[in-house]
Chain A
């Protein structure tokens, strides 16, 4: 891949107009809620940028994140982002395999030392020396350390990479850890979601490409533009929640009327993501619109929040045994206290009798 020309020149040769840059700039700016002036800066930045080398590493994951990105229904954005970046290594998407693939990764690293971006999907197993996931005989941990060493920034895509996700779910048999724990001080963006919204991935990448820095992040390292508000904050079913109108099941009268899904386990109130505003499949719909509560997929440990269908306000686990034990112990203590009072009373009465005599 040639990297010595800037994007504007390269795009021009391929018939992409300056207008397309501007359009893309304003699209990304509006996605990320940037001021209008940023659209032009974004476009300028992109035009002046070199094709960004991206190395995509897949560890303990299901490829859903790649599926989400490549099957995005925003073809202009997706196409453009793939025009703007040079995806030098991606196991699922690259034609070559085996040693040739590894060579491509090494070559890209050597040619773009300190400048390439590492995108990671999947978590890294650390238990037993990391043997639970290896590629070409090397553990995920070794590959990550090696690749990240000379990177400019790391983007952890999907909840597995960002927070450990499914592999890290209780009892975490492989000792899976999120990418953030393994990259030292490297600049890192978490794009969580299971899978993440494609526009959140491309938007964040476009921002880095144009401005050469990370967008504003929340305390979990996620771009505020996409993870600044909860699903509940922007949910179109919110008026039902406020009025106390809830679906009690998935096919009752409430569900048919589109009432709020809180009672059937919706985690929207504690889930930060853009589903309710950007939606999926090119803005067609999102889970709550299709009648299912939010699972909280963009939050840490969403697999272990007591069950997808358990309302948010209920205890996480079964309390029964603990409460039964407490009730027995309490009753026993009560009986004990009463017995001791009775014996006190008895001896008091006996001594009073004696005194009378």
Chain B
């Protein structure tokens, strides 16, 4: 109970505060940068900047034709755990109650059985992603501690959440505390590591789209 009180109390307040601070720091830092300066006129017939940006954001959601076949597995697996995380985080009733306590809004959730199933699938998919990262020569070469830490801090809340529901490991209240603490670690790391892509992918893809579009290239 003491550990749970610490997790629900100081730990959660501190980590959500770090999350808010870090995310705003990085987002405001990027968005308040001066507008990109056009030193050359855009290529004739090129799309307006906003259109190039939007195109890039959506086009990049599936791999380019050339890589479709090789990229299929990682793409599908990536979608599985991203959607899985979305479902587990936003549609499990206790999580909705947590979010309601922060934002004051709530929405209907899914039955626990569905959440557990999706959670297990997500955990499996994350493990597959790690295995792929460790075995693919190229991916292994470009992976940094940042990648592994981001993976671990995503995996731990899923694993501890599943363990708490399934009553494996220590007593439920301890497991619940560990689950919350793992979320705290996730939140603290989020703004400073690769997890921040959840916010930044729109900006970076958009910026790339604009630059390419400017030169008349279609992404």
For B, the interface residue count at a CB cutoff of 8 angstroms equals: 43
B137 within 8 A of partner (CB): no
Q: Is the CB of A338 within 8 A of B1?
A: no
By beta carbon, the residue of chain A nearest B18 is: A326
B112 to nearest A CB, angstroms? Answer: 5
Residue A114 CB within 8 A of the other chain? no
What 1/0 flags go to B4-44 for Cβ under 8 Å of A? Answer: 11001100111011101111111111111110000000000
B98 x A315 contact (CB < 8 A): yes
Q: Are A327 and B24 in contact (CB under 8 A)?
A: yes
A237 CB, nearest partner CB in chain B, Å: 13
Do the beta carbons of A330 and B28 come within 8 Å of each other? Answer: yes
Contacts of A310 in B (CB 8 A): 101
Interchain CB contact (< 8 A) of B29 among A304, A313, A338, A345: A338
Q: Are A330 and B1 in contact (CB under 8 A)?
A: no
B32, A330: Cβ atoms closer than 8 Å = no
B172 in complex: contacting residue of A230, A325, A342, CB < 8 Å: A230
Q: Which of A15-23, A41-49, A118-126, A238-246 contacts B (4 or more CB under 8 A)?
A: A238-246
Question: Is the beta-carbon distance between B13 and A315 smaller than 8 angstroms?
Answer: yes
- Tell whether, in the assembled complex, residue A262 and residue B111 are in contact, meaning their CB atoms are under 8 Å apart: no
Q: Does A317 contact B (CB under 8 A)?
A: yes
- Contact for A319 among B16, B33, B94, B176, CB less than 8 A: B16
| Inter-chain contact A342/B2, CB cutoff 8 Å | no
Chain A CB within 8 A of B147 CB = no
How many chain A residues touch B (CB < 8 A): the figure is 42
In the bound complex, what is the Cα–Cα distance between A313 and B97 (angstroms)? 7
**A244-B112, A263-B93 known; A334 vs B98 contact (CB < 8 Å):** no
Q: Say if the beta carbon of A311 comes within 8 Å of chain B.
A: yes
Central interface residue in B34, B101, B109, B112, by most chain A CB within 10 Å: B101
Enumerate chain B residues within 8 angstroms of A316, measured Cβ to Cβ.
5, 8-9, 12
Top 8 nearest A-B pairs (CB, nearest first) are A334-B28, A330-B24, A338-B32, A313-B94, A337-B29, A326-B17, A330-B21, A316-B9
Could you show 27 A-B contacts with beta carbons less than 8 Å apart? A243-B111, A262-B97, A263-B93, A269-B173, A269-B176, A270-B4, A270-B172, A270-B173, A306-B9, A310-B101, A313-B95, A313-B97, A315-B12, A315-B98, A315-B102, A323-B17, A323-B20, A325-B17, A330-B22, A333-B25, A333-B28, A334-B28, A334-B32, A335-B28, A337-B29, A338-B33, A341-B33
